[in-house]
Amino acid sequence: MRLLVLVALALFAASCYDAADPTPTPTAAPTIAPAVQPSPGPPPPAPLPPEGVLYARPGGSRGQLIAYRQGTGEVSHALPEGLLSADGNRFTAAEQG
């Protein structure tokens, strides 16, 4: 019985082996993954305003920019109507004069 199993295994192995080309043939074309570039990461945080100063835009997104002192509530300085950049780092205003 063992001889029959060994003969069957030998015949199966011989049928799987190609004597003319012993190297296995790939079933699909090899692919090369593109190099992944590391992301630069988030932008650095915007610089903090001076301590004790609160910036507000009471007129909305296109209104003037007013800086208030937090301790007293008085106006520290004000800029005319303008636009804040998307990253919040720059305020652009123009006046005719």
pLDDT in tens, 36-70: 777 777 877 767 666 788 888 888 878 888 989 88
Specify which residues 91 forms β-bridges with: 84
Q: How many CB atoms lie within 10 A of CB 84?
A: 16
The whole-number average pLDDT for the span 11-25 is 59
* Dist. CA 57–CA 82, nearest whole Å: 10
Residue extents of the structural domains in the chain: 53-87
Q: Is the pTM here over 0.95, yes or no? A: no
Residue 47: both structure tokens together: 């610089």
